[in-house]
């Protein structure tokens, strides 16, 4: 097997100096190329810390984080991130918002001006993929919450990241919009050559989308179990109502409840 895209080994991360809170301790996680991993756990278990460690926004005090075969010592620009809050810049149109990462990433920023048309075409294609065709010229405040989140996904993907990190991206959406976006993510993962790590509170979401569900313990967070999701792809929403699916969700639920109680 090829070396994993992300390899976190024995990582401790403490906030606020030597006496601060230990957010994660003895963390071990490997994410293979092309894999879809969902991270679940009780609240405050350091899921967001895990994301920040992987993207290089935080450097751990001990242990090692290796992404794409190199030790992480500064932000790695091969990731795209999306949060629950879409954080679209209100003074830019949706299209300009999506192009923003290209103005930052070293590899693209010098090419952007000369190859604008090419990048715009790419952004429009992405918009089409997430069902926002023709909305590029609209301002973010003219879009609904779900549409903003779709645009947010486009922004996270525009620079063709190898790794897409999603931190509860659908937490603030209603149930129907959320299911729609599950399918958008599912199709993105199927068509684009991208590895996805999804942090979520929603167990059904994790089982529906992921190849592997990782359960974290209460603070200080570490991985207590990993579950391979057996359901064949492509998965349809009907899967949500199958007994095997619900059994798995229930099992995860039980594990997290135990982890919470242990805290």
Residues that bind another protein (CB under 8 A): 52, 55-57, 74-77, 79, 81-83, 85-91, 100-101, 103-106, 139-141, 148, 155-156, 159
Q: With respect to another protein, which residue has the nearer C-beta, 158 or 213?
A: 158
Q: With respect to another protein, which residue has the nearer C-beta, 85 or 258?
A: 85
Omega within 30 of 0 (cis) for the link into 212:
no
- What is the C-alpha separation between 171 and 202, in angstroms, rounded? 8
Separation of CA 103 from chain center: 22
Alpha helices for the chain (secondary structure H): 47-55, 94-104, 106-109, 116-129, 145-157, 175-191, 203-209, 243-262
Token digits of residue 56: 């290089």
In the complex, least distance from residue 99 CB atom to another protein, rounded to whole angstroms: 11
What is the three-class DSSP state of 258? Answer: helix
Q: How many CA atoms lie within 13 A of 92 on its CB side?
A: 13
In the complex, least distance from residue 256 CB atom to another protein, rounded to whole angstroms: 25
By the 8 A CB rule, do 162 and 182 touch? Answer: no
Q: With respect to another protein, which residue has the nearer C-beta, 106 or 238?
A: 106
Q: With respect to another protein, which residue has the nearer C-beta, 58 or 186?
A: 58
Q: With respect to another protein, which residue has the nearer C-beta, 72 or 218?
A: 72
- What is the C-alpha separation between 76 and 83, in angstroms, rounded? 17
In the complex, least distance from residue 83 CB atom to another protein, rounded to whole angstroms: 4
Beta strands 223-228; 212-216: pairing state? antiparallel
In the complex, least distance from residue 49 CB atom to another protein, rounded to whole angstroms: 12
What is the three-class DSSP state of 251? Answer: helix
In the complex, least distance from residue 145 CB atom to another protein, rounded to whole angstroms: 9
Q: With respect to another protein, which residue has the nearer C-beta, 75 or 254?
A: 75
- What is the C-alpha separation between 64 and 62, in angstroms, rounded? 7
In the complex, least distance from residue 159 CB atom to another protein, rounded to whole angstroms: 7
Q: With respect to another protein, which residue has the nearer C-beta, 74 or 193?
A: 74
In the complex, least distance from residue 37 CB atom to another protein, rounded to whole angstroms: 18
166: β partners: 82, 198
């Amino acid at each position: 097997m090829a070396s994993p895209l992300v390899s976190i080994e024995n990582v401790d991360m403490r906030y606020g100096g030597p006496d601060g809170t230990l957010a994660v301790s003895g963390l071990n996680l490997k994410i293979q190329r092309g894999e879809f991993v969902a991270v679940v756990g009780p609240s405050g278990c350091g899921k967001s810390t895990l994301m920040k460690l992987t993207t290089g926004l935080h450097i751990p005090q001990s242990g090692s984080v290796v992404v794409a075969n190199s030790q992480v010592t500064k932000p790695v620009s091969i990731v795209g991130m999306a949060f629950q809050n879409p954080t679209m810049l209100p003074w830019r149109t949706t299209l300009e918002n999506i192009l923003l990462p290209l103005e930052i990433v070293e590899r693209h920023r010098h090419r952007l001006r000369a190859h604008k048309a090419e990048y715009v075409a790419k952004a429009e294609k992405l918009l089409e993929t997430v069902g926002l065709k023709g909305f590029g010229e609209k301002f973010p405040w003219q879009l609904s919450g779900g549409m903003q989140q779709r645009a947010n996904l486009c922004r996270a993907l525009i620079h063709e990241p190898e790794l897409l990190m999603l931190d509860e991206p659908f937490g603030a959406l209603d149930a129907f919009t959320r299911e729609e976006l599950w399918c958008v993510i599912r199709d993105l993962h199927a068509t684009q050559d991208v590895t996805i790590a999804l942090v979520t509170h929603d167990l059904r979401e994790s089982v529906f989308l992921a190849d592997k569900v990782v359960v974290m313990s209460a603070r200080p967070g570490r991985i207590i179990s990993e579950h391979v999701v057996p359901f064949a792809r492509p998965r349809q929403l009907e899967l949500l109502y199958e007994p095997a699916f619900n059994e798995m969700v229930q099992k995860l639920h039980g594990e997290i409840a135990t982890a919470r109680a242990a805290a």
